[in-house]
Structure 1
C-alpha cells in the first residue's frame, strides 16, 4: 500500500528567494535612510576632540607677527657726494653724538670753498678802501664847514662894527652895505655847508649799510660752503648703534645716497604686519599681548601706517611698561592684538570643525555620551583660542570640535570607547 508523502511548505528554493528579497529590501532601506540624512556613523572617542561650552570672559583678538626694532632709527645719507677716503668705525659700533664715521673727498667742492674765501677777502679789502675814502671825504667836508663857519664869524663881526661906525658917521654908507652883503653871503654859505654835511652823513651811513649787508651775505655764503665741506665728514647725529653701514674705501657716493643708520638703544618698538581686512578696526591706543620667557607682556599701538602693500598694512607698537630682558633687535614676536573690550560670553574652543560647517552647525554630544547629533548654532567673534557662541548651545553642553572631513553627510555619530 502506498504511503502518501506530506508536501513541504518551504523548499530550499523558496527559502533562498525569501532571503534574497529581505536582503534587497534591507539594502533599499539603507540607501533610503542614507539619502534622507538619517545616516549614522560609528566613531572612536579617542579619534575626536570633545569640548564643553562654558561661560567666561571673552575678548576678540587676532594673531599677528611683529619684529622688534629700535624705538628710533636715524638714517645716514650723504649730504654731499664724494669718494670714500677713510672709515673711522665698522658696522655695529656704538657711537656717541658727533663722533666721525667716515670721510669723503670732493675736489670740486673744496675748490669752490677756496674761491668763496678769496671772494670774501677781496670784498673785505674793497670795503676797507671804500670806508677809508668815505672817511677822508667826510674830513674834507668838515674842514670846508669850519672855513665857512670862520668866514661867517668874521663877516658878522665886520658888519656889526661898520654898523656902529656908520651910526657915528665914521664910515660911508657904501662900506656898511658891502659888509652887510658879505655877511648875508656867508650865512647862505653856512646853510649850504650844513646841508652838504647832513647829506654826506646820510650817504656815508647808507653806503656803510650796503657794504656791510653785502659782506654779511658773502660771509654767510662762505659759512655755508664751509659747512658743505665739513659734511664730507659723516658724523653720528645721536647716541646709538651704527648699523647697515654700506661704504668701502675708494667707493663713490652720490649726494643723498643712503650710507647706513643709527639705532637709538634707549628702547624698542615692534613693527607689526596686519591683514588689510582689519584696517578699519585698528587705531592708536589699542593693546596687544605676547608671552616671552614664561611671562606675559603688553604692547600699545602708537602709530598706524595706512598704506596697504600686498594686502597688508603696518603698525608700530611700544611696550606699555617693562621691556622683556634678553629681547633683541630683529626678533619675531607672536602677538595677540585686541579688537574689542572684555565681556562675558558663552565660549567653545576653536577647532577643525569650523572649516566644514562655517560655524553654522556642530555635533552636540548627548547627555549619556553615547552619541552626537547635528545642532544648528550661531557663532560671533573669535580670538586665538575661542569662538563666541550667540545661539544654539547652553553652558555645559559638550560638542565635538575636531575636523568633520569624514562626517559631511552624517546626521548622527555613535561614540564608542
Structure 2
C-alpha cells in the first residue's frame, strides 16, 4: 500500500509574472517496508500448507465409493461343516493291456468300446523271430531232457548191477559157510586134511568180507545216485518251466482280455508294429465308477478315510465315502477318491464332472459372516468393520474358524449386528481406515 502526500505550492510574489507552471503539484510515492512484505509472504505460505495438510488424504486412510464394496452383516446361525468339491467320474477298476511281446498286428478281433469277457482274444500278432527262437528253445530243451533220461537209465542199470553183485556175494557166503560148517567137525576127527579145511575157512572169510565191501559200495552208490537223480529232476523241471515260459510268450502274440469289462483306448490297426511292453488299451469295470476330486491343501489335515460325502444329481442325493487320499500336493491341491456306498447315478459317463459335498464335521450353532473374496487376502486375521453411520470402515483384528462355500465361522472380534466388508480388499488392504462415499 502507498501513501501519497500532497504539498501545497508557495504563494507567488506580488508583482511577479503569472505563468502556468505555478499550477503544478509534486506527488511523493511511499512503499511498505521490506520486513512487512516478508512477514506477509510467510503468513500466506503457512496458510497454504495448513490448508493442504487439512484437506489432503491421510496415509493410513483412503476414500472409496461404497457402491464398489459388498457389506455383510454378522449374524448367529447354524454352521454346516462341509467342503464343496468338483469331482470327475472314473472307472472303479481299470486294467491296462500291454503287448507282452512285440510283433505285427495281423488281425483285429474286437473293436474299441466293446464289452469283452475274461480271456477273450482281442487281436492277433505275428513275430517270426520269436517263433523261430521258441522252436529252437523247445528243441534244445527236449534234447537235454533226453540226455537226462539216458543218465537216469544208466544209473538205474548201475543200481541193478550192484544189487545183483550183492545177491551173488550173499549166495557165495552161504555156500562157503555151509562148506565150513560141514568140514569143521570132520577136520577135528581127522577125516579132512588140515590143508583142505584151511582153504575152506579162508574161502568163507573172504566171501564174508567181500559181501561187506559190496554192501558198503552199494550204500555209497545209492546215496550218490539219489543226489544225481534229484539234481537231474530239478534241472528237468527248470527246463520244463523255461519251455513253458517260451510257449507262453509265443501264445502272448494273441492278445487277450485279462478281465471282463469294457474295452477302451484300443486304437491299434492291422499292419501296425507294436514294441514289447507297449500299451494298447485298457479295460474298465462295467457299471462301477468312482469320483476323483481335487481338494485345497488347506484341508489336508482335516480329510480322513471313510469320511462321508454326497453327490446331487437329477434332484436326487447319492451317498459316498472317501476311500483313498493322495498326499502329493500339486498347484495347491491334493486329490481324493470317493466311492459310492449305495446305488450309483444312472447314465453317468466317464470323465463327467459332478458337484459333491465332503462332510468334515457335525453341524453346530455359531456366529457367521458370508464367505467372500476378502479371506484370500487377509487369511481370516482381520477385516474392515463398517461404522454404524455407514460413512467409514476401520480395520479390526479378528479370529475366524471353519468355513464352507457360503459362510465363515467367527470365533472372536465381531458381534452380531455389526457389518463388515466381504468383497476383495484389492487396492486398500494396506490402509487402516476407509472413508465411504455415497451418491
TM-score bucket of the superposed structures, by smaller chain? 0.7 to 0.9
State the match for 1:131 in structure 2: 152
Among 366, 380, 384, the residue aligned to 2:400: 380
Deviation at 1:242, TM superposition (A): 0.9
Match of 2:383 among 348, 352, 360: 360
Does the alignment pair 1:296 with 2:291? no
- Asked if the contact 1:81–1:254 (Cα under 8 Å) also holds between the matched residues in 2, the reply is yes
Contact 2:385 / 2:418 at 8 angstroms: preserved in 1?
A: no
Aligned to 2:42: none
CA 1:372–1:342 in structure 2 vs 1: closer, same or farther (change >3 Å)?
Answer: farther
Contact 1:41 1:410 in 2 (8 A): no
Q: 1:254 is matched with which residue? A: 275
Counterparts of 2:284 and 2:117 in 1: how far apart (Å)?
A: 12
Q: How many residues align?
A: 381
Contact 1:274 1:314 in 2 (8 A): yes
Q: Which residue of 2 aligns with 1:115?
A: 136
5 Å-filtered alignment, 1:312-323, equals 312-323=333-344
The change in CA–CA distance for 1:32 and 1:295 in structure 2 (over 3 A counts) is farther
The residue aligned with 2:106 is 85
C-alpha displacement of 1:314: 1.9
Q: Please report how far the alpha carbon of residue 218 of structure 1 lies from its aligned counterpart in structure 2 after TM superposition.
A: 0.7
1:365 and 1:400 in contact (8 A); partners too: no
Deviates more, 1:402-411 or 1:219-228: 402-411
Equivalent in 106, 115, 133 of residue 127 of structure 2: 106
Flag structure 2 segments of 5+ consecutive residues without an equivalent: 1-49
1:215 matched to 2:236? The reply is: yes
**Which residue of the other structure, out of 208, 212, 231, is the alignment partner of 2:252?**
231
- Alpha-carbon distance between aligned partners in 1 of 2:374 and 2:235, rounded to the nearest angstrom: 83
Q: 1:286 to 1:134 in 2, by over 3 A?
A: closer
In 2, Cα distance between equivalents of 1:305 and 1:356: 28
Distance change (3 Å), C-alpha of 1:317 and 1:39: closer
Structure 1 38/101 Cα, relative in aligned 2: closer, same or farther at 3 Å? closer
SS at match of 1:188: helix
Equivalent-residue separation in structure 1 for 2:163 and 2:306 (angstroms): 78
Q: RMSD of the TM alignment (CA)?
A: 3.7
What secondary structure does 1:178 align onto?
A: helix
Residue of 215, 237, 244 corresponding to 2:265: 244
Partners of 1:365 and 1:399 within 8 A in 2: no
CA distance in 2, matches of 1:296, 1:313: 25
Task: Answer whether contact 1:379 1:387 (CA < 8 A) is retained.
Answer: no
Quickly say closer, same or farther: Cα 1:154–1:390, change in 2 above 3 A. closer
* Aligned counterparts of 1:206 and 1:399: Cα–Cα separation in 2: 91
Q: CA deviation at 1:241?
A: 1.0
Q: Pick the aligned partner of 2:197 from 147, 169, 176.
A: 176
More deviation in 163-172 or 180-189?
163-172
Offset, 1:223: 1.1
**How far off is 1:387 after superposition?**
2.8
Residue 350 of structure 2 aligns to a residue in which SS? coil
Aligned counterparts of 1:128 and 1:39: Cα–Cα separation in 2: 103
Task: Answer whether contact 1:61 1:339 (CA < 8 A) is retained.
Answer: yes
Aligned counterparts, 1:9-408, within 5 A: 53-350=74-371, 360-363=383-386, 374=393, 378=398, 380-381=400-401, 382-390=403-411, 394-395=415-416
Distance in 1 separating the partners of 2:186 and 2:237 = 64
Aligned to 2:22: none
- Between the aligned partners of 2:128 and 2:152, the Cα distance in structure 1 is 36
Which ranges in structure 1 are unaligned for 5 or more consecutive residues? Answer: 1-27
* Local SS of the residue matching 1:126: helix
Q: CA deviation at 1:351?
A: 5.2
Q: Check the 8 A contact 1:81/1:252 in 2, yes or no.
A: yes
Instruction: Return the offset for 1:332.
Output: 0.7
Supply the distance in 1 between the matched residues of 2:112 and 2:305 (Cα, whole angstroms): 34
**1:360/1:379 contact within 8 Å kept:** no
Distance 1:132 1:41 in 2: 107
